[in-house]
Amino acid sequence: MSKATEESAEALRLPIPCHRFDPPPDRQRLGRAWQEHIAPVFSVSFQAETDLLIPIAMVSYHLGDLLVGDVIAPAHTLDRTDEMIEQQGLDHILLQFYRRGQSIVETATGTNHVLETQCVVFDLAQPVHIVAAPVDATNLVIPRALLEDQGCKLDGLHGQAFDHDGDPFGRLLHTFLANLVACGDLLHQHEAASTARAIVQLAGTYLRGRHAVLGNANLNASIRVRRLIEQSLHDPNLTPSVIAVRSGMSRSALYRLFDESGGVVAYIRDRRLMRAMRILVRGCPGDSKRVKKLAYEVGFSDERIFQRAFRRRFGFVPSETTSLRFGDSGREEGVSVLRTWIDSL
């Protein structure tokens, strides 16, 4: 066996990457350390009754296409603000399966109470305010596109809670995830891809049909059109007329599919801007020459229009994303492992 083959075989035997919350020796710093650990997803504040002497733990495993893990946390308040969304450019879905505890989840569309044995869906591209009691839960972070490819229509699911214990498929998914976390340290990297594919299929099956607005025919059309748009964002000539022809539907039917999204033109522009943000956050240099090229890559035919749209959407211009990646000091070590992992999905 050649040295290269041996090294390749050895790489396959490496464990799945694991990241754990490491409590500081000084208990006085525990609260701050916890806030910093989950800052890539939520801003945390503690309630008056929060007991920081109870165990706090979080473990996350990186399976290549998604993250899965467990969290045990005290009573606290979590926020995902417009500012965080604008700066981070995340386009992921977080599923939390509660085993113990409950919370009150406030979104732009209303307030929901999440109970034990329920799964709550968070769209990380939307703001949310959560008041949580002490909780023990399993987490799944998965890119939106992977769920949409499974036939999920995610509009309207942000902040919604669904039973995972009494629901047969919900119980199957939660059991699979919980057992995966329990034996995560025994798994190797060559097993990650097949495990991730199974999770995507299970999660997709669990979430399909969790909406009540569209019938099956409209749902299938919506998924087909959204896939077409995602694959054609680079095309500056992508218009409602073109989409209608390519998808074989009337323009009026196309417009109805995007009533909840502010219209098809607004949806296309937002998806283009989100793609541009993710390219920039992942390491694209933000100089003027590169920004012009990026504008064309995501389907804008005019750099100035792209710059203005980007500022309106995120509150800053593309060239300023360098400071967002590395913090005010510009040092890469300021980026947390969890944030780097989420960006890599």
pLDDT band at 330 (very low <50, low <70, confident <90, very high): very low
Q: Give the C-alpha separation, 212 to 160, whole Å.
A: 12
Q: Give the C-alpha separation, 125 to 108, whole Å.
A: 12
CB atoms within 10 A of CB 203: 24
Question: Is the model's pLDDT at 194 over the cut of 80?
Answer: yes
Q: Mean pLDDT over all residues of the chain?
A: 83
Q: Which residue in this structure is represented by tokens 């003027």?
A: 288
Question: What are residue 98's phi and psi, to 5 degrees?
Answer: -75, 130
Structure tokens at 321: 């994303």
Question: Is the model's pLDDT at 164 over the cut of 50?
Answer: yes
How far from chain centre, in Å, is Cα 280?
17
Question: What are residue 231's phi and psi, to 5 degrees?
Answer: -80, -15
Residue 9: the pLDDT is: 54
Residue 288: the pLDDT is: 60
CB atoms within 10 A of CB 210: 15
Structure tokens at 54: 């109870």
Angle (nearest 5°) at CA 124 between 154 and 305: 90
Residues paired with residue 120 on neighbouring β-strands, in sequence order: 96, 161
Question: What are residue 211's phi and psi, to 5 degrees?
Answer: -105, 160
Q: Which residue in this structure is represented by tokens 């390491």?
A: 283
Q: Give the C-alpha separation, 138 to 97, whole Å.
A: 5
CB atoms within 10 A of CB 57: 13
Q: What strands lie across the sheet with 110-114, from one edge to the other?
A: 43-46, 76-80, 128-132, 103-107, 110-114
Consecutive H or E run containing 256: helix 251-257
Structure tokens at 25: 């020796």
Residue 324: the pLDDT is: 44
* pLDDT tens-digit map of 76-133: 999 999 888 877 778 899 999 999 999 999 998 899 999 999 999 999 989 999 999 9
Residues paired with residue 137 on neighbouring β-strands, in sequence order: 71, 98
Structure tokens at 38: 């989950």
Which of the two residues, 197 and 278, has the higher pLDDT score?
Answer: 197
pLDDT band at 67 (very low <50, low <70, confident <90, very high): very high
DSSP secondary structure string for all residues of 39-60: TTT-EEEE-TT--TTS--EEEE
Q: Give the C-alpha separation, 33 to 36, whole Å.
A: 5
Q: Give the C-alpha separation, 175 to 192, whole Å.
A: 18
Residues paired with residue 18 on neighbouring β-strands, in sequence order: 61
Strands 135-143 and 67-73: antiparallel
pLDDT band at 7 (very low <50, low <70, confident <90, very high): very low
